[in-house]
Amino acid sequence: MATHRFHPLRYFNVIGTAEPCLRISDGDTIITDTVDASGLDAHEAAVAQRPNPMTGPFFVEGAEPGDTLAVRIDRLTPSRATGWTYSPLSHTVLDPAAIADQPSQQRAVWSIDREAGTVQLREPVKGLETFSPPLQPMIGCFGVAPAGGQALSTATSARNGGNMDYRLFAPGTTAWFPVSVPGALFYLGDGHACQGDGEIVGTGIETSFEMEVTLRVLKRTIGWPRGETADDIFTVGNARPLDQALQHATTEMLRWLGEDYGLDSRAASHLMGQVVRYDVGNVFNPAFTVACRIARQWLPKL
């Protein structure tokens, strides 16, 4: 098992079957740079007009269609002292009647204080002069190449992952993705220094990152992204409307409880009916994201 330090020379606005930037072995660790549009030079920024420039793809030896790629998020370190967001709230989260009263879109710059572990508006607005939420790095967009030679925009998400903007994709989490092409072709980017549920202003605090992840190949098949933390397991559905995303996530959890925890549909329904939690990921971009989450304390000990 090796550690690779990779400095990208190109970025992608789609997740697809591009030429690999690096080939690694099962179990290897990657330390690499990711950027937001503000972290690109003039030429790169012109190329990255669409959202979420991705670093990759990384080819993982031994990963074959039908396998699962497990991505352990080891470290997310902001590499700039500033980030940016938009205001006001997205039209997708407001009553239609309220949209006309919203101000025009405006970009704001945030200071990122790694030593204090906080973020703060560089030019505070009235009422938020002392507003300083915690620095909570997360990955907004990552995943593997989809099936059928598709190239999916990094503005959206699907079975292969993508722009899910789910806050639990943070250090200490292991994400699972269904592999559809040889080598998996893994991409990552869209680092957020902080973000509330849903990415409801269209951004988190977007900034450039050094990301460290460890990749493992699991010889098992899943249908939708899954994840594990020290305290929870979760499944992710990506679709629109929101109820369809919830259905995908719930069905995937039902499968997981049967496969790994020996629960039939009736037993799983008793468990899920009382202790399941639903989290909202992205509700701004074309596909919405819902996570179905269960605390480990409730899982059978097999």
Q: Is the confidence at residue 40, as pLDDT, over 90? A: no
Q: Is the confidence at residue 15, as pLDDT, over 90? A: yes
Q: Is the confidence at residue 39, as pLDDT, over 80? A: no
Residues 51, 192: one domain?
A: yes
Q: What's the pLDDT band for 49 if we cut at 50, 70, 90?
A: very low
Q: Is residue 18 part of a domain?
A: yes
Distance of CA 15 to the CA centre of its chain: 13
Q: Is residue 102 part of a domain?
A: no
- The residue type of 39 is G
Q: Pick the last residue of a domain from 172, 189, 218.
A: 218
Global pTM reads 0.95
Domain span holding position 199: 3-78+139-218
Residues 9, 151: one domain?
A: yes
Residues 160-213: pLDDT tens digits?
999 999 999 999 999 999 999 999 999 999 999 999 999 999 999 999 999 999
Closest C-alpha to 205, from 80, 42, 54? 80
Residues 143, 282: one domain?
A: no
Q: What's the pLDDT band for 301 if we cut at 50, 70, 90?
A: confident
Q: What's the pLDDT band for 223 if we cut at 50, 70, 90?
A: very high
Work out the mean pLDDT of the chain and round it to a whole number: 95
Instruction: Transcribe 227-288 into DSSP letters.
Output: EE-SSEEEEEEEESSHHHHHHHHHHHHHHHHHHHH---HHHHHHHHHHH-EEEE---SSSSE
Please state the rounded mean pLDDT for residues 18-44. Answer: 84
Q: What's the pLDDT band for 51 if we cut at 50, 70, 90?
A: confident
Residues 239, 284: one domain?
A: yes
Q: What's the pLDDT band for 34 if we cut at 50, 70, 90?
A: very high
